[in-house]
Structure 1
């Protein structure tokens, strides 16, 4: 049985091969319709497969690019944030160094006085530092009536002291009165605080004798006869000095030397005018002492009234 089956299979394969040979020898005209039919079926399928494959490949490639771009973008943002923080820190340190250099220059300018540096830690919530608090107190040697300087000139005076803080009333406060004098001529005057007037960057100068030589641009410093302010500290510059209607005195304005809109560090002079006055009382009086004493008493009355307010 097996030999007959093998024989039949061999005959079938032989016939199939002969048919294939015959087909391949047939003229192309007979195969063209078959090829065309196959093309109609296979070409759209092949095009669709190619399109889908290309689209999938493009999507995978675009997703990979997008993922890499997102990673790079995050890295760049982190780097920008780091550089921004570093730049801000460097700018802050630069500004602080500039302020400290100015304070050092001010310290050298008034080298005859001992001083303590302090930072401003709070103000009265106004646009200007009319009353503010510093981070040094009695444990650092700070006491009431000590003079405070910054930015090239007088800022104010200590009015209240705690163990770790002190309160300073600046010369722009409405209740402030500073006995001053013109550095060039020695003529005396009173520098009065005025917050409304300070909106224009000025304070008021009063009690100037008509015959005095005080003129615009003169440097105004604290007077020798002041009751609480140490002598020779720059307050500001005279401006618009004119005769009063009483024809006896002059008045005008003062441009402060210190900046009251951005105080951050100050110097507190730890010497008190009261101690200097006590030392002066123990010294022999000179000629004309009665006149000087009368003037000093008048000035002390004005500044004492200011201090009590």
Structure 2
């Protein structure tokens, strides 16, 4: 019995193998059309693939889209960072250009003031509560700076030395001047002699200096230039101060007051020149002694 059972099993395996080979041979031979079972099997497999492919494709596309979104977000963050850096570089370059332009003007002004022994300085501090009155520069007594020396930029006068330390000094700005601080000045007029006046104070509302003590018979026009006269004994002469914008009579009707727009920007100052008048005095005395001899 066992032997017969083995034989039957062997025969079944052989028959199955033969049938399989026959089916394989039948399926791989060149044919114009498929059999009905093949068509059914092929269509069934195709439908199953379509059904499985749609959700898989949807999930795959969703994953790709999410990945692309993250990549785009990261790229945007990088671009924003680079754009911020680029803007910072542009601002730094613009600031450096402005500083260089201001330094060039200061150097040119220094050459033109060689008779006054100019001392170049940089503004290093400006108090927030006294922004319109004072600032600190990086030059002091060790550099030749002394109290009451005139301070100017390439555009014009901005103030005077209020106090001098060994290596730093405090500048009192024209916008912080009061009646106790006066600058003897000339108003330069076309085809007329200079008119005398005193810079006394600052009008904070209009941002203009007050030139007082002008005689009633003096005729001033808008645009007339105001310069230092040097008659006060403190400041050198011919330092540019500003231009006349408005002229009014004083309260008592005895003199006139002119509103003067400063040449220099009193609120945006980076580099200044401290002017030492004593050098001019010494040179003039030496020239007089040479002439007398």
The equivalent residue for 2:104 is 101
The equivalent residue for 1:241 is 247
Specify every segment of 5 or more residues in structure 1 that has no aligned partner in the other structure, as ranges: 22-30, 285-309
The equivalent residue for 1:226 is 232
For structure 1, which segment, 141-150 or 69-78, has the greater mean C-alpha deviation from structure 2 after superposition? 69-78
Q: Find the aligned partners of 2:229 and 2:119 in 1 and give their Cα distance.
A: 22
Matches within 5 A, 1:123-142: 123-126=126-129, 128-142=131-145
Task: Choose from 58, 67, 72 the match for 2:61.
Answer: 58
Judge conservation of contact 1:171–1:178 (CA < 8 Å) in 2.
no
Q: Find the aligned partners of 1:107 and 1:18 in 2 and give their Cα distance.
A: 112
Judge conservation of contact 1:180–1:222 (CA < 8 Å) in 2.
yes
Task: Choose from 254, 260, 268 the match for 1:254.
Answer: 260
The equivalent residue for 1:160 is 163
Q: Find the aligned partners of 2:64 and 2:221 in 1 and give their Cα distance.
A: 81
Partner SS state of residue 62, structure 1 = helix
* 1:182 paired to 2:187: yes
Q: Find the aligned partners of 2:19 and 2:186 in 1 and give their Cα distance.
A: 131
Q: Find the aligned partners of 1:247 and 1:84 in 2 and give their Cα distance.
A: 56
Gap change, CA 1:78 and 1:55, over 3 Å in 2:
same
Task: Choose from 78, 82, 91 the match for 2:85.
Answer: 82
Root mean square deviation of aligned Cα? 3.7
Q: Find the aligned partners of 2:207 and 2:92 in 1 and give their Cα distance.
A: 31
Aligned residues: 267
Partner SS state of residue 112, structure 1 = helix
Q: What TM-score results when the alignment is normalised by the length of structure 1?
A: 0.71
Judge conservation of contact 2:147–2:164 (CA < 8 Å) in 1.
yes
Cα shift at 1:179: 1.0
The equivalent residue for 1:291 is none
